Structure 1
Amino acid sequence: MLTLGLIRCGQKPQESAIEQVTINPELDSATIRSQKLYETYCTGCHGEQMMAFADRTWKHGNTKDSLILSITNGYAEAGMPKWGEVFSDEQITELADYIRTGIEHVEKYGFDEVMLSSDTFQTEQFSFSLDTIVSGMTNPWGMTFLPSGEFLITEKSGTLFLVDGEGNREVVKGTPDVRHDVQGGLLDIILHPDFKDNQWLYISYSDYIIEEGDTLSGTAIDRFTYQDGHLTNPLEIFRGRPYTSAKWHYGSRMAFDEKGYLFFTASDRAHQSANPQDLSNPKGKIHRMYDDGGIPEDNPFFGKKDTIASIYTYGHRNAQGLAFNSVTNEIWSHEHGPRGGDELNLVKKGVNYGWPVISYGINYDGTTFTDKLEQEGMEQPIHYWVPSIAPCGMTFVESDLYPGWKGDILIGSLRFNYLNRCIMDGQKVVGEETLMKNIGRLRNVKQGPDGYIYVAVEDPGYVFRLVPIKE
C-alpha cells in the first residue's frame, strides 16, 4: 500500500500537518491516483473541479514540463508549497498529466478558424445553411415573432426594432428607459399566448433610479399593448427591488407555460452571499405570475411570512436561458456559473438549486467559495459545463424540419462562439454537438412559428435562420 501525506494547498508541508491516506496502487490507475492527489492536496485552494482550475491563464506555462516544475518547486509568493518535498517524481509526473487532461478539455474549444469560412454547416445528421434575417445591429438580445411574419428584436442599447421579411428595420416607439451599462439594457421580449386577441407583449430590462448622485438599477418587466409600431398602456409586472449599483446579473429571460403563467428569471445581481438563498429577496430566483402581475395562490411560498410570494424556485446565479417544452409541459432553465459550473435545470416548484452553497465552479480569480458539490435539500443540475460555455438563450426543437433533433435543446455559447445541441433522452442529456463554430457570441436561439430555428449573434449583430439542405 502507498501512503500519502495530506496537506492543504497553501500550507507549508510540515510533518505535523500530515494525515495519512492510503491508496491501493494495484487497483487504481495513474489517473485515479492523480485524481486522488488533487482531491487530497489541491481542492482547498483550487476547488473540487480540476477542469475549472485548468480553465485559466497560466502565468508559468501549461506544458507538462512547466507543470512539473511548478508542482516541484512551488511559488512561495503565491502561497504554493514545494510539493517536491512531499511527492515522488512519479506522483508529480502523474499529477501533471492529470492537469493536462483538464487543459486539453478547455483547449478543445479553441477553434482554429478566426472567422467563418462558409455559411453552410454539416451536422451529425444533415447540412444546413444560414439565411440572414437582419444585419447591422450590435447586440440583438431578445426576439419574438409576430403573427404577420415580422420580427420584434431588442437592441441591448435600448431600441426595439420591427423587422420585416426583407430585413428592413423600423424603430418601435414607446419602449422604457433602460440602464445600458455592462450587462444592463433592453433585454428579453415575448408575446402573450393570446397576442392575436389582446396585442399584449412583455419586455424585461434594467430599470434604474438616481439616488444621491448614484445610479441604482434592477431587473424590471412591463406589459405593453402593441399596435402599428407603437407600445402603449405600460403595466408594471415586476421590479427586482431593492435596486443596487451592480451592473451585472439581471437574468431577464421569460416564458409562458401551457396554463398561461408567466415565468421569468431574476438573477442574483452579483450579490451571491445575500440574495439567492433569501426568500425575502426577489433576486437569484425564478418567479411565476399571472399575466397581469398577480400572484397565483398555489405558488410554493404564497402567504408565508417574510417571503416573496412570486418566487417559484431559488438558489440561482445568473439565468439567461428559459424555455417551455410544449410536448412535456415543462419549464427548463440554464444559468451561468462563475469559472465552471454553468447549469441546465428542470424548473420544479419550490426547489432550491443551491447557489452559492453548492457549485461545480470556482471564483474567476481562481479562489474557491464553497467546498460542496451537493447538499441535502438542494437540487443537482440535469447537466453542467466545466469549463463554462457562458450559455445564453435556449429553445426546444419541436419541429420536424431538422432530422434527428426533435426533442433536443439548443443553447448559445457566448464564450466559445457556437451553438450547443444537448441531445436529450427524456430528462437526461446523453450527448452534445458543437454547431457553427466561430459564429460569434451567440446571444439567443429560438424556434419560430414556421418551425425554423433562429439565432442572434452580437458584435456585429445578426439574426440568422437555419435552413436545412435537402440532399
Structure 2
Amino acid sequence: MLCINPIVASEDRYKMESIAEGLDHPWGIAVVSENEMLVTEGVGRLRRIVNGELDPLPIAGIPSVFLVPTDLTQGGLCDVALHPQFNENRYLYLSFGEADSENPSLNAMTVIRGQLEGDKLTNVEQIFKAQPPRKTTAHYGARILFLRDGTMLVTSGDGFNYRDQAQTLDNHVGKIIRLNDDGTVPDDNPFLGVDDALPEIWSFGHRNPTGLTLSEDGKTIFEHEHGPKGGDELNIVTAGKNYGWPLITYGIDYSGALISPFTEGEGLEQPVKYWVPSIAPSALTLYNGDMFPNWKGNLFVTAMVPGDVRRLTMFEDRVVDEEILFEELGAIRNVTTAPDGSLLLVTNGPEGKIIRVSRD
C-alpha cells in the first residue's frame, strides 16, 4: 500500500562530530567493534578507522577495481560487509565494478570474500559476478546484506541501458541475488529448478537497488532503489516476487519521455513508498540503538538529492511519518548505527567524511 506523507519536524536534540575526513568517494561502511570500523573508497581502497583515527595506510590485498574517471560515484569499490561470525573467521565481503578479463571494454559487478589478517586481506576468492558483462558504467546496485539464516543478499542494478532484462530470469540485470556465504546457491531459493531461470535470483524487476536492511526481528527485508526522473521506491522484498521495473513506474525518463503508462499491474509488487521528485536514495538502515529512543525501529534513508537523510516511522509495514534530517551535510552516501547507539553518516565526494551523530 502506498503512503505519501507530510514531512514532520524533529524534536530530538543531537550533535555532530567528524571522526574521519579526507576519504576519496567513500561508499560502504562496516562497524567491526566499538572502536573500529572499515570504510570503502570508490577509488579502490579499504580504510580502517580505529579509536577515531583514520589509518593512513589502506588495507592491502584488495583486487583492482573498474573505475569511471568522469564519475567516481559509479563503479569502483562499493560495499563492505562482515560475515556474521567475523570475530571467529575474519571473513569480509566486498562488491565492486570489475573489468572483463576477455574484453576490457566490458565490466561487471563482482563480489569477493577474504580474511582480514592485520592490515591485509588474504585468501581472496570471487563468489559472484553479475552476468552478462555490460558496456555501461552505471546502476551497479552492489549492496550486500546478511540475513539471519546466514545467507546473503546482493543487489544488481539494470546497467541503465538494459532495463528490459530486469524482467527475464536468465541474467542478473535488475535482480536481487541470494547466496550462501561461500557463493553457492541456497537449496530453498525461489527459482531453483525453474527452467531458463538462474537459481541464485531472489527477486527481480528492480532498477538500481542500493539500500537493504532488516526489520528488528529479521523477518522483513526493506529495500530501496533509484527510480528514473521521479519514482524512487522503498519496497519490502519477498522471495520470487516481481517489483515491476520497467513495466510499471512512478517516474519518467530523464528526457521527459514516458517509460510506461502504468503504475501498477497484475503480479507486480507495489512500493511501500515512492518519491516524486526523486531523492536519489543511496543507503538504508534500521535504527536499533538506545541513544535516541524516539528513533528506535525507524528506517533511515540517505538521500543524495538535494542532500539529507529521511527518517521514516513505520507502522504495520507502512510509512506513517517522514522527517528530513542533516540537510546541512549535503549529499550522504551511507548510514549505520554504532554500537553505542550513535548514528554514523558517510558524506559523499572526493573529501568524504564520517560523521557521528550523538545526543546533545
TM score, norm. by length of structure 2: 0.94
User: Aligned to 1:438, what secondary structure does the other structure show?
Assistant: helix
For 1:233-248, what aligned pairs fall within 5 Å after superposition?
233-248=123-138
User: Aligned to 1:171, what secondary structure does the other structure show?
Assistant: coil
**Do 1:144 and 1:153's aligned partners in 2 also have CA atoms closer than 8 Å?**
yes
Are positions 1:396 and 2:286 aligned together?
yes
- Report the AA paired with residue 160 of structure 1: L
**Do 1:338 and 1:363's aligned partners in 2 also have CA atoms closer than 8 Å?**
yes
Are positions 1:194 and 2:85 aligned together?
yes
Aligned-partner Cα distance in 2 for 1:148–1:466: 15
Aligned to 1:146: 32
Any idea what the Cα deviations from partners look like across 1:68-96, whole Å, max 9, x if unmatched? xxxxxxxxxxxxxxxxxxxxxxxxxxxxx
Aligned to 1:180: 67
Aligned-partner Cα distance in 2 for 1:130–1:430: 27
For 1:373-412, what aligned pairs fall within 5 Å after superposition?
373-412=263-302
Unaligned 5+ residue runs, structure 1? 1-107, 110-121
Aligned-partner Cα distance in 2 for 1:215–1:159: 23
* Shift of residue 148, structure 1, vs aligned partner: 6.4
User: Aligned to 2:88, what secondary structure does the other structure show?
Assistant: helix
Any idea what the Cα deviations from partners look like across 1:171-215, whole Å, max 9, x if unmatched? 100001111113110000010000011000000000112556x52
Distance 1:306 1:444, change over 3 A: same
**Do 2:148 and 2:218's aligned partners in 1 also have CA atoms closer than 8 Å?**
no
2:96 pairs, out of 183, 202, 205, with: 205
Distance 1:234 1:222, change over 3 A: same
* Shift of residue 247, structure 1, vs aligned partner: 0.3
User: Aligned to 1:146, what secondary structure does the other structure show?
Assistant: strand
Distance 1:124 1:144, change over 3 A: same
1:464 pairs, out of 351, 355, 358, with: 355
Aligned-partner Cα distance in 2 for 1:125–1:258: 33
Aligned to 2:307: 417
Deviation beyond 6 Å, 4+ runs, structure 1: none
Any idea what the Cα deviations from partners look like across 1:341-395, whole Å, max 9, x if unmatched? 0000111010000000000000011111110000000000000000000001110
* Shift of residue 427, structure 1, vs aligned partner: 0.5
The structure with the larger Rg is: 1
Aligned-partner Cα distance in 1 for 2:207–2:135: 17
- Report the AA paired with residue 135 of structure 1: E
Any idea what the Cα deviations from partners look like across 1:243-293, whole Å, max 9, x if unmatched? 111000000011111111101101111134432001001110011111001
**Do 2:289 and 2:339's aligned partners in 1 also have CA atoms closer than 8 Å?**
no
Aligned-partner Cα distance in 1 for 2:234–2:330: 22
Distance 1:132 1:142, change over 3 A: same
**Do 1:272 and 1:355's aligned partners in 2 also have CA atoms closer than 8 Å?**
no
* Shift of residue 230, structure 1, vs aligned partner: 0.5
Are positions 1:158 and 2:44 aligned together?
yes
2:58 pairs, out of 163, 171, 181, with: 171
**Do 2:147 and 2:218's aligned partners in 1 also have CA atoms closer than 8 Å?**
no
Q: Which has the higher contact order (CA 8 A, sep 6+)?
A: 2
Any idea what the Cα deviations from partners look like across 1:387-432, whole Å, max 9, x if unmatched? 0000011100111211311111001111111011111113000110
**Do 1:125 and 1:404's aligned partners in 2 also have CA atoms closer than 8 Å?**
no
Aligned to 1:435: 325
User: Could you tell me the percent identity over the aligned residues?
Assistant: 37
User: Aligned to 2:75, what secondary structure does the other structure show?
Assistant: coil
For 1:353-372, what aligned pairs fall within 5 Å after superposition?
353-372=243-262
TM score, norm. by length of structure 1: 0.72
Aligned-partner Cα distance in 1 for 2:16–2:314: 24
Greater share of residues in helix: 1
Aligned-partner Cα distance in 2 for 1:452–1:438: 18
Aligned to 1:22: none
**Do 2:28 and 2:40's aligned partners in 1 also have CA atoms closer than 8 Å?**
yes
**Do 1:175 and 1:231's aligned partners in 2 also have CA atoms closer than 8 Å?**
yes
Aligned to 1:340: 230
For 1:39-438, what aligned pairs fall within 5 Å after superposition?
124-147=10-33, 149-169=35-55, 170-181=57-68, 182=71, 183-209=74-100, 211=102, 214-438=104-328
* Shift of residue 241, structure 1, vs aligned partner: 1.9
Any idea what the Cα deviations from partners look like across 1:145-182, whole Å, max 9, x if unmatched? 11362111100011111111232323100001111113
**Do 1:264 and 1:322's aligned partners in 2 also have CA atoms closer than 8 Å?**
no
Query: Relative to structure 2, which stretch is displaced further, 175-184 or 370-379?
Result: 175-184
Aligned-partner Cα distance in 2 for 1:290–1:456: 28
User: Aligned to 1:404, what secondary structure does the other structure show?
Assistant: helix
**Do 1:267 and 1:316's aligned partners in 2 also have CA atoms closer than 8 Å?**
yes
Aligned-partner Cα distance in 1 for 2:335–2:31: 12
Aligned-partner Cα distance in 1 for 2:340–2:34: 12
Aligned to 1:100: none
Aligned-partner Cα distance in 2 for 1:168–1:448: 17
